[in-house]
Amino acid sequence: MKKPLILVTADVKDVEGYHWHAAPSTYLKAVLNGASAIPVILPSLGEELNFDDILDQVDGVLATGSRSNVYPALYGAEATEENGPYDRDRDATTLPLLKRAIEKGVPVFAICRGMQELNVAFGGTLLTEIQEMEGRSDHRAPTSDNQDERFKIAHPISIGSNTQLKSVLEAEKVEVNSLHRQALGDLGTTLAVEARAADGTIEAVSVANAPGYVVATQWHPEYWVKTDGPSQKLFQAFGEAARSYRATRLKP
């Protein structure tokens, strides 16, 4: 069987007068090597795209993390300079893409910003600057030019029983990294909490009664997919879901 095609979301960057649509290589390599699939970057062209036509030709969707945040007006909050940067083109693409992919049963793996997009797409809200909230830990990355230091394993999470995540990781607790200053607030319709940090921060969600595979994590398993067991299991499970979906999609 040919390898499945995984659609990877793109950030829009202004560089030398051009609008670049790009995704970090860590996600692309995690799809290629961790999920044993072929990554294909989807440009963030919003309403210019026909999501049904696109999703009919792929076997999974990976929503990546990003420095940018979901635009607050999309979940009933006010945009501020401190809460930025924003990427309105990505919002206009990824939110409807995720919702339609899940409706069609296309496997979805959403990471960091991707998990936050998933929540907003289903009507949920986000909490901003959670390190300033009473009782919350500081979930931001260490200040460093060394990526291994920024993405180091930082704290444990507790995984709920009878969850998709527990079936994938085969554990009730795992250690994860932490590089975020936002978190999920009110859950979107049909979203279910899969794991939490010790301070109550939601670390993983799924979509109840989704017709296909859906897992979303607040942490970044793509970075340590070569060496970290839980990270490997997450991308292997996503790849298996994509292969199974592809077999069904291409069945005569």
Each domain of the chain, given as residue ranges in start order, spans 5-249
Q: What is the mean pLDDT of residues 206-225?
A: 97
SS3 97: helix
Q: What is the mean pLDDT of residues 69-78?
A: 96
Looking at every residue in the chain, the average pLDDT score rounds to 96
Q: What is the mean pLDDT of residues 48-53?
A: 98
| Residue pLDDT, tens place only, 137-184 | 878 898 899 999 999 999 999 999 999 999 999 999 999 999 999 999
Angle between helices 88-104 and 113-121 in degrees, nearest 10: 70
Q: What is the mean pLDDT of residues 102-106?
A: 98
Cα gap 26→147, rounded to integer Å: 11
Cα gap 68→222, rounded to integer Å: 18
With 90 as the cut, is the pLDDT of residue 12 above it? Answer: yes
pLDDT of residue 129: 85
- 3-state DSSP percent of the chain in helix, strand and coil, to 5: 35, 25, 40
Percent residues over pLDDT 90 in the chain = 90
Could you count the other beta carbons within 10 Å of the beta carbon of residue 54? 17
pLDDT of residue 140: 87
pLDDT of residue 82: 87
> What does the DSSP 8-state code read for residue 73?
G
pLDDT of residue 130: 86
Cα gap 247→40, rounded to integer Å: 19
Domain 5-249 in CATH 3.40.50.880: yes
With 90 as the cut, is the pLDDT of residue 230 above it? Answer: yes
With 90 as the cut, is the pLDDT of residue 117 above it? Answer: yes
| Residue pLDDT, tens place only, 14-28 | 999 999 999 999 999
pLDDT of residue 139: 87
pLDDT of residue 92: 98
Tell me which amino acid residue 135 is.
Answer: G
Cα gap 231→226, rounded to integer Å: 8
With 90 as the cut, is the pLDDT of residue 123 above it? Answer: yes
